[in-house]
Amino acid sequence: QEGDLPMSARNGSASDEECRITEVCRAPEDVELTELGPLLEESGGPGKAQGATAGGPAGAAACPEEEEEEEEEEGVRVITLPLQAHHAMEKMEEFVYKMWEGRWRVIPYHVLPEWLKDNDYLLHGHRPPMPSFRACFGSIFRIHTETGNIWTHLLGLILFLCLGILTMLRPNVYFMAPLQEKVVFGMFFLGAVLCLCFSWLFHTVYCHSEKVSRTFSKLDYSGIALLIMGSFVPWLYYSFYCSPQPRLIYLSIVCVLGIAAIIVSQWDRFSTPRHRPTRAGVFMGLGLSGIVPTMHFTIAEGFVKATTVGQMGWFFLMGAMYITGAGLYAARIPERYFPGKCDIWFQSHQIFHVLVVAAAFIHFYGVSNLQEFRYGLEGGCTDDSLL
């Protein structure tokens, strides 16, 4: 029966039975499934056996019987550092070429490198490490765990760019104080555009490398703080239009808290999975700082006027959507209860993205109504009104 086996099988059998060296003889591994690192020599190939056995005959199998005594005398063989580095460079070049050409496939969670592991309830469909920006940006047209996260905020970015341009180009006759009001709206649109832009860029390139992932995650979190800060500006401007002193105080407090959130988000560990609740808490706290001016406004104007003329109903809805999205993100619902079922669509991060875009649009609608109300009053103020 042994005569029926090919030569490579017999050599492999001899290797298993008689090889006394300690280096591991293993089957070739797909480098797309593992993080690139020190690459050990693979047995079975003529060229590889030649590299591992100094002075050995070309094409000889590992651990031949006639060289058993010689191997016992030499002891444990190790791959020299230059040869190991050479093999690693060859594998890296091959890997980068595949990434550049877009020839990659999604991989399961358990083979991801540690810096790419974020949500252990998403079991399949992850991108491998891709050290090529071209491959990263090309991946937005492929289906994987980040496809929904990328496109929800990329489309949201386009929406708010269009809304911002249309608002800035409105004739000045529709504003009581065109320069001030366009600056106020501009602050909101700037925060929204930066937030959505940083977000879709982060989700696109974070599989590039650990350094790139860490850098863009800090931009992503800073963008969230900028969106919250920018959202406060037009609301406080119109809600406290006739009360400049409390308006200035509230704006200053929001700016200080927003800058503090940006500083905290630069902490390297802030982006780790362990601090997911911390991230949600920081930004929820920044948003909930608006409770104080909201209560001030509601008490001063009365609940009915605040929720109708003051548009507080829309702002309450906006706050509820932000809080719901952040809560789902922190708790990783629904994938927590359906592991492997929400890998591509309907995961918590995608729901959070959709709620952020919807809440920002609702905020814009409410502020626009406040602006129209102020325009209808022709800029006048009464002694007993904040509006």
Token pair, residue 174, equals: 């529709």
Q: From the annotation, which residues make up the binding site for Zn(2+)? A: 203, 349, 353
Burial (CB < 10 A; 0-12, 13-18, 19+), residue 303, is exposed
Helices and strands per DSSP (H, E), number in the chain = 14, 0
Q: Which residues pair with 107 in a beta bridge?
A: 126
Residue tagged 């390139």 (tokens):
205
Residue tagged 């308006």 (tokens):
247
Q: Rounded distance, CA 295 to CA 372, Å? A: 23
- Residues, the chain: 387
Chain centre distance of CA 328: 16
Q: Is 229 left (phi over 0), alpha (psi -120 to 50) or beta?
A: alpha
Q: Which is nearest to 201 in space by CA: 228, 229, 223?
A: 223
Q: From the annotation, which residues make up the binding site? A: 203, 349, 353
Q: Which residues pair with 126 in a beta bridge?
A: 107
- How open is the CA angle 224-352-284, to the nearest 5 degrees? 50
Q: Rounded distance, CA 353 to CA 6, Å? A: 58
Q: Which is nearest to 242 in space by CA: 372, 368, 367, 381?
A: 381
C-alpha to C-alpha distances, 154 to 135, 150, 208, nearest whole angstrom = 18, 6, 19
Helix (H, G, I), strand (E, B) or coil at 386: coil
C-alpha to C-alpha distances, 336 to 127, 354, 362, nearest whole angstrom = 21, 19, 29
CB 207 within 8 A of CB 352: no
